[in-house]
Structure 1
Amino acid sequence: MKANINSIALFGTSADPPTLGHQALLRELTKVFPKVITWASDNPDKKHQISLLKRTELLKILVQKISHPKLELVQELSSPRTIHTLKKALELWPEANFSFVIGSDLAVQIPKWLNAESILSKAKIAIVIRDGWPISVKQLDKIKKLGGKVDLLPFKIPRSSSSKFRERPQERLVPSELVPTLLEENLYGLADKRK
């Protein structure tokens, strides 16, 4: 898959916390898309362990570490509702073709999004298959019936998830650049684990 010159990958994430999987995905996206925009946001279907401000700070550290000219953190896109994010993105980049990047674990939520048909008429859905979360033809059909266009991204992403880290915080699951902040502020109880 090679994106056209006006393509922008939009990757909003809870970043609770950003993991090695987030890092790998952002790097892979820069190989395919001319522009990759990320931000931290609240997911209305999740309970977040630390504040949005702190999650944004962690994601910013990760983006600075990757340090790729195609990758940018644009926190003003953050919204619990995809339709609001898309509206803001259209204001910022009116000529762009957008692809919302999601993990296969979230594909089932798309038909339940607020104004799903409107979103799908204005942006593609780019799905990254996560280990343990296969995507079914039935799920893809539901998205397509709403007018959605789907790209399955052929990336190999390490098996690491924020929820696994929150259950059992381990330094090896997150990019090393995040560890000093996590320890200094004892985020997720990581410093307690070292005692």
Structure 2
Amino acid sequence: MKAEINSIALFGTSADPPTLGHEALLSELTKIFPKVITWASDNPDKKHQLPLLKRTQLLRILVKKISHPKLEIVQELSSPRTIHTLTKALQLWPEASFSFVIGSDLVLEVPKWLNAKSILNKATIAIAMRDGWPISDKQLKEIKKLGGEFNLLPFKIPESSSSKFRERPQEGLVPRELVPFLLEENLYGLADSR
């Protein structure tokens, strides 16, 4: 899969906290897309452990660590609703074509998004396969039924989820560049688990 020249991958994440899985995904996206934009956001279906500001700081550390010219954090795209993010993205890059990047664990949610049909008319869904989260033809048909297009990304994301880290904080689940900040601010109880 090779993206067109004006194609932008949009990846919003709770980043609660960013894990090795986030790092792998962002790095892989830079090999496919000419531009990769990420941001930390509040997911209306999740309870976040840290405030958005702290999660944004953690994501900034990760983006700086990856340090790729195609990757940037554009926090102003952050919104709990994909349609609002897409509206902002269209204002910033009116000539671009967009791929919303989601993990296979979120495919089921796409048809339930606010204004899903409108989103799917303006952006492709790029699906990163996560270990332990297979997707069914039925789920993909639901996206197609709404007029959506999707691409299965040609890589797998390693099994390391933010929720696993929150349940049992372990330094080995997050990029090591995040550890000093996590310890200094005593986030997620990582300092206590040492």
Q: 2:176 aligned with 1:176, yes or no? A: yes
Match of 2:41 in 1: 41
Task: Name the structure 2 match of 1:88.
Answer: 88
Aligned partner of 1:120 in structure 2 is 120
Partners of 2:77 and 2:94 in 1: CA distance: 14
> How is 1:105-184 mapped onto 2 (pairs within 5 angstroms)?
105-184=105-184
Query: Which amino acid counterpart does residue 82 of structure 1 have in structure 2?
Result: T
Question: What is the deviation of 1:115?
Answer: 0.2
Matching residue of 1:20: 20
- Normalised by the size of structure 1, how large is the TM-score? 0.99
Structure 1 residues without counterparts, runs of 5 or longer: none
Q: 1:24-103, aligned counterparts within 5 Å?
A: 24-103=24-103
Secondary structure of the corresponding residue to residue 141 of structure 1:
helix
Secondary structure of residue in 2 paired with 1:129: strand
Q: What do residues 98-123 of structure 1 show as CA deviations (whole Å, max 9, x unaligned)? A: 00000000000000000000000000
1:105-144 residue CA offsets vs partner (Å, 9 max, x unmatched): 0000000000000000000000001011000000000000
SS at match of 1:38: strand
The alpha carbon displacement at 1:74 in A equals 0.1
SS in 1 for 2:79: coil
What is the one-letter code of the residue matched to 1:51?
P
Q: 2:134 aligns to what SS in structure 1?
A: coil
**Identity across the alignment (%):** 83
Matched residue SS, 1:11:
strand
Equivalent residue pairs, number: 194
User: What is the correspondence of 1:179-190 to structure 2 with a 5 Å cutoff?
Assistant: 179-190=179-190
Task: Give the RMSD, CA atoms, in angstroms.
Answer: 0.4
Asked if the contact 2:131/2:156 (under 8 Å) is kept, the reply is: no
Q: Which amino acid aligns with 2:29?
A: L
Query: Which runs of 4 or more aligned residues in structure 1 lie more than 4 Å from their structure 2 counterparts after TM superposition?
Result: none
Q: Which letter maps to 1:24?
A: A
Using the TM superposition, give the Cα deviation of residue 95 of structure 1 relative to its aligned residue in structure 2, in angstroms: 0.2
| 1:156 positional shift | 2.4
